[in-house]
Every structure is written in structure tokens, then in C-alpha cells.
Amino acid sequence: MTSTGLLIVSNVKRIQKSLNAIQKYVNNLYIHLNIPSSKIQPVPSWTKIISRIYSEGLTGTPQINLKILITPLKTQLTNIGKQKIDMLFSDGRFPEICDSVRANFSIPSETIFLTEESASDVAEQQNHDKETKMYDTVVLGGTFDRIHVGHKIFLTAAVLRACKRLVIGVTDENMLKTKRLPELILPVEKRIEDLKNFLLEIDSTLQYDIVPISDPFGPTKSDPDMDMIVVSAETLRGGHKVNELRAEKGLKKLDIFCIDMVEDYSDDGVKELKISSSNTRIDLLGTRIKPKKPREHLPREPYIIGLTGGIASGKSKMAQRLHALGAYVMDCDKIAHEIYEPGQLCYEKIVEHFGNEIIANDKTIDRVKLGSIVFSHPDELEKLNSIVWPELLVEVKRRIKLAYESSGTKIVVVEAAILLKAGWDTECHEVWSMIVSPEEAVRRVVERNNLSEEEARKRIANQVDNHTVVKKSNVVFSSEWSPDYTQKQAEKAWTMITTELKQTKA
């Protein structure tokens, strides 16, 4: 089901009942507040009611993507946009406005009346205690990664107070290093696009200037035409700092409107206690963040998952978790050691190139001697990889085929640190990866390998970075937190893939 509805709200007290009734019909829902013309009030006074509707929607029907329309609050018009609406709902018996909305949006189906009552309490829900002044230009800033309810409330508070222009600074890559799971943050261009689409949908009357910023102040430090800044309780201090900077430059002080943060009632011990983009990214762990590409050259069975990740990321432990859930695991590091053994084709090729001086007394390859050669000469390391990687891939494929033919293995996990460097992602139906922050990786390497911090950082710097790993992955895990939380991620991903494969087979 992917359909869009519009709900005409006349009775706010019934909003949760209305949403519960609608959730079986639509994924996306616009809300039009039905305000009697005799009850029109200053636009900012609707902040409280809108925040309440968003919050109740999040609590009761989080699967519905809500958007509350602001244009009609400003213009008293029902012709408010070009959105394609499949279904129209009303929580009261108001056929006149319903017919008008149906005509303006060209909604094909009849209005679904959720009740036969004609009561309205919208005007009673206004917040008359808050400042209701409006401004020509309002400004706000943030990361705005994957717009969630907290963002919608924050942005709407600004839209309600702007008469002409809304300026939004969106943090670029230079300001993301201290964020949780920064590798999962969408590119700034995508975040700006999503913001613009959302804002134009809820209010088409404003001019939107959405710009990337590389410092906390953005255009507020130089634009003389700004009048008001909207902040959260968390960034209130930053709002005052903006005014200090503007005063130093002789610019007028901005009025400040502070909006409360929306609480997150998750008790998993990992997430923040507020609705945030960080929590949204944490929820992405163990889910498919990128569609898998068709691999026509691979057989449908067994289904091959490439599992990769940096040093000390918890990759091997994740392989163990997936094995316990039912996967057949190929440990490429162990297989690589085996093909180095005398009698193997890979062994012969390595000795042929590097000479007999790398052979130990027991005829095996002396890895210390070989390592001293290749890690001092990048060209030789490249040559070694060009010998080992193709032979390793051949052996992995042979073992996958054998496992499938002998025991009917359905899902194979190929654990390989070199997966992406070797270009093996195309040899898997999809790629799953493990990441931890560089700081956590350094701590683990120092503790586990008994290395200095400098040596640990060098090792981490020589591997594929987290951003590249995430960019090439379909599913991402992180072992940054407790083992139990990592296990939940593994179970989430395993349930997803096994369910999909059953549906595909059916």
C-alpha cells in the first residue's frame, strides 16, 4: 500500500481516533485544519495544536507520514497545492468544505466521513499565551537528516511566523564529525532537496532560501534583513550567540522563538531521550539502507552476502551471530592462509615472484619476511594482491558451490576485510558491513593488538574509510554499543532477508 490521503480536521480531541481509522488506507497523510471564518486568529497561535497533532501521530500511528498544511491558515484558501491526493477523510460532517477540497485536488473518490457529528473544537485548541507576532524574514539552522517529527514541528514553528522569507542553514560535511553515525547522514544536497519539498508542500506562500553552512552561524552573521531566529531548547544558547555576533557587526538583534524538544520514550539505553536524527540513524542499523542491485551473473541460490568492515569493527563477531541464526559463513582470512600452503597454485605464484628467500625451513611462506617486502614497497603489495585475490576468489566460489550442492545451503555470508578493495561486491547479491567510530576502533586496536595509538591510527588510515564502506553497503551494522544491541541488529537483518527470500520463492 502506497497511497496519499488528506484529512480535514475539525475536532482535535478526536485526532488519534481519526488516525487509527485512517492508517489502514494510506501511508502519507496531509492534514487540513477546518477553521470557521469567525474563529480566524493570528497564524503563530496554531503552533501548539500543530505540535500536538504531530506528537500524537508519532505516538499512535508512526507509520503514517504526516504533513500539516499551513497555506490555508494564512490565505483561508482550499486551493493549496499540487499534491496528488488519492482519498479524502473528514472527522466531522462538513460536506461543503469537503466538496471544495475534493474539487481543488481532483480527488476521484467520495469523502470518507469518520463520524456523523458536526462538532468543532479547533479554535479552542489555540495557544493564546505565546507570542503571535509575524516577521518578514525568519531564520533557523540544523542538520535536517531524514526529516522526522521533531524537524516538522521545528520547521512549522518557523513557517507560521514568516510573512515573506524563510532562511535555513543546513550543516555541510565539515560540521558532521561529532554527530552519531555521521557516515549514515544523507549528502547535504539531498537534505536541502528534502527540506524544500516538505516546505513547499506545507506552505507555498513563502520564499525559501536553503543554503549549506560550514560554521554554526551561516548567513545570520552577515544578512541584515533577518528579523527572527527559531531555535530549540538545545540550541537556545546558540541563538543568543548569533545576536552577540550580529551586535559586533552592527546588525540588528534577532527576536528568538524557542520550541520545546519532542521526547523519545525509547528505553533501549542507546538512543537520545528526544526525537532526533541520531535516533533515526540508529534505527537504520540492521535495515536495508540502499536497494540491492540485480546480479544476473549470479545464481539465485545460494544467496551470497558479502560481509566487510574495518579492523576492530566487530566483523568476525557479526559473522558468528549470522552463523548462529542460520547462515553458512566463509571466513576469507582463514581460506587465504590455506591457499598460501605448499602445493597450492597461489603458493607457487607467490614464490615465483618473490623468490625462495621468503620460504621458511618447513617450506611454508615466511609471512614476516614477505610482509617486510610488501609493506615497504607499495608496488610489491599491489603485486601480491594481484596474485592472491583472484586465487582466493576462485577458492571461495568453489567452496560456495560445494556447500550448496552437498547440503543445500541457502544463504552464504562471505566475511572478507578486502571485499571492497578487491571489487568482490559484484560477486555478492548484496553487501553488509560493520562500522565503529575511528576513536572506538583505535581504542580496540590498542587494547587488542598491544599497539601504540600512533600505530593503531596508521593501520586504520590504510583501510577503506567508513564513508566509502557505507556508500557501497546495502545493510550497515555498528558494534559501538552493547553486544545485546548488536545482536538485535543482526536479528533484524536476518529476519528481513529470510522473509524476502521466502516471498521471492513463493
How many residues are listed for the chain in this entry? Answer: 506
Which tens digit of pLDDT belongs to each residue from 111-121?
999 998 887 88
Q: Could you tell me the fold of the domain covering 135-259? A: Rossmann fold (3.40.50)
**Which residues, in sequence order, are bridge partners of residue 304?**
412
Residue in the structure block whose three cell numbers are 614477505: 370
**One-letter identity of residue 211:** V
**One-letter identity of residue 443:** R
Chain centre to alpha carbon of residue 102? 35
Query: Is pLDDT of 106 > 90?
Result: no
Average pLDDT over residues 210-218: 96
Q: What percent of the chain is helix, strand and coil (3-state, nearest 5)?
A: 45, 15, 35
Average pLDDT over residues 289-297: 95
**What's the CA gap between 98 and 89, in Å, rounded?**
8
Average pLDDT over residues 31-45: 79
Handedness of CA 329, 330, 332, 336 (dihedral sign): positive
42 versus 365: the higher-pLDDT residue is: 365
Chain centre to alpha carbon of residue 319? 24
Which tens digit of pLDDT belongs to each residue from 387-442?
999 999 999 999 999 999 999 999 999 999 999 999 999 999 999 999 999 999 99
Domain boundaries, the chain: 4-125, 135-259, 303-505
Q: Could you tell me the fold of the domain covering 4-125? A: Rossmann fold (3.40.50)
- Report the b/e string of 228-238 with b at 16+ CB within 10 A: bbbbbeebeee
> For the domain 303-505, what is the CATH superfamily, name and number?
P-loop containing nucleotide triphosphate hydrolases (3.40.50.300)
Please choose, from the candidates 125, 79, 124, 118, the residue with its C-alpha nearest in 3D space to the C-alpha of residue 102: 79
**One-letter identity of residue 46:** W
35 versus 380: the higher-pLDDT residue is: 380
Largest Cα span, the chain: 97
- Which helix (H) or strand (E) segment is 461 a member of? helix 453-461
**What's the CA gap between 359 and 351, in Å, rounded?**
8
Cβ within 8 Å of residue 486, ≥6 positions away: 314, 317, 318, 321, 477, 478, 479
Cβ within 8 Å of residue 72, ≥6 positions away: 32, 33, 78, 80
Indicate yes or no: pTM above 0.75: yes
User: In the prediction, which pLDDT does 81 show?
Assistant: 57
Within 10 A of 448 (CB to CB), how many other CB atoms are there?
Answer: 11
Is there a shared CATH topology between the 4-125 domain and the 303-505 domain? yes
- Strands across the sheet containing 430-435: 328-331, 411-415, 303-309, 430-435, 475-478
Angle value at C-alpha 328, between 326 and 331, nearest 5 degrees = 135
